[in-house]
């Protein structure tokens, strides 16, 4: 559905001989093409709460039944099973009402999100590639800055060593050179309406897994579980049993 914001009035009726859309919610002010109001009857949480009020007591009952008691007999276990079954049916009922309430709005939201995604994808690519290229440019400048700084520091250290040696030979106190001017660190890149700053983070890259400390080696629990399910008993692992309960509700 394409909306012509220049031709549609707030009621979404026939304008200038053309029906652009029928049944548009009055939540949209098409005069400016912007969402400016939300009518009380369309998104009224008080009305929504009334729809779900009938579940309050039932939810409270099953919650108290589970949290307030412990299983001591087979009858208790049966009662708990029934309670869990009731809870599952309540979840389905509540979710069904929730979906009924939001289905129209949800469909519209999905359509808008799907339509806008193409713009977002391209713009995110612009941001990603722009950051990547700015980062590469600034990294090269930082490498050059560090190399220049190193040369200045090495020259200063050599000069200081010469002064110290001469002073020692003459039997006088050496003179310390004043701090040398070092290349300026990279400033933010600025434009008329934006700025980009770059920081340099040390990121590890594994080149020899065998040499890694054990604390850096992550266990693949999914692969380990699949191996145990297949009957394997891997070394360094203790096999324990945990109860996995499944409840089916009519």
pTM: 0.54
Domain ranges, residue 174: 44-182
Does a structural domain hold residue 244? Answer: no
Does a structural domain hold residue 35? Answer: no
Distance CA 204, CA 190 (A): 30
Q: From residue 119, how far is each of 3, 24, 133, 236 by CA, in Å?
A: 18, 24, 21, 51
Q: Give the number of domains in the chain.
A: 1
Q: What is the pLDDT of residues 155-204, one digit of tens each?
A: 999 999 999 999 999 998 999 999 888 888 888 888 888 889 998 888 88
Give percent above pLDDT 70 in the chain. 82
Q: Is 190 exposed, middle or buried (0-12, 13-18, 19+ CB in 10 A)?
A: exposed
Q: What is the pLDDT of residues 87-120, one digit of tens each?
A: 999 999 999 988 888 887 888 888 888 999 999 9
Does a structural domain hold residue 229? Answer: no
Does a structural domain hold residue 126? Answer: yes
Mean pLDDT of 224-234: 92
The rounded Cα 128 to chain-centroid distance in angstroms is: 16
């Amino acid at each position: 559905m394409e909306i012509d914001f220049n031709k549609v009035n707030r009621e979404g009726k026939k304008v200038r001989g053309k029906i652009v859309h029928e049944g548009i919610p009055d939540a949209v002010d098409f005069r400016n093409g912007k969402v400016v109001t939300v009518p009380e009857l369309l998104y009224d949480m008080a009305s929504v709460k009334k729809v779900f009020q009938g579940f309050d007591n039932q939810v409270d009952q099953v919650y108290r039944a589970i949290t307030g008691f412990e299983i001591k007999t087979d009858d208790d276990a049966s009662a708990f099973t029934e309670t869990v079954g009731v809870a599952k049916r309540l979840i389905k009922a509540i979710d069904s009402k929730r979906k009924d309430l939001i289905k129209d709005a949800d469909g519209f939201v999905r359509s808008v999100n799907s339509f806008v995604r193409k713009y977002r994808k391209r713009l995110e690519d612009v941001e990603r590639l722009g950051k990547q290229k700015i980062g590469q440019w600034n990294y090269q400048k930082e490498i050059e800055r560090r190399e220049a700084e190193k040369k200045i520091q090495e020259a200063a250290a050599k000069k200081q060593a010469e002064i110290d040696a001469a002073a020692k030979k003459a039997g006088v106190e050496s003179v310390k050179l004043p701090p040398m001017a070092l290349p300026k660190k990279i400033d933010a890149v600025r434009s008329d309406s934006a700025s980009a700053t770059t920081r340099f983070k040390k990121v590890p890259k594994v080149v020899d897994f065998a040499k890694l400390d054990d604390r850096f080696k992550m266990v693949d629990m999914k692969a380990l579980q699949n191996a145990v399910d297949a009957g394997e008993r891997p070394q360094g692992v203790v096999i324990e049993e945990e109860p996995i309960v499944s409840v089916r509700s009519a």
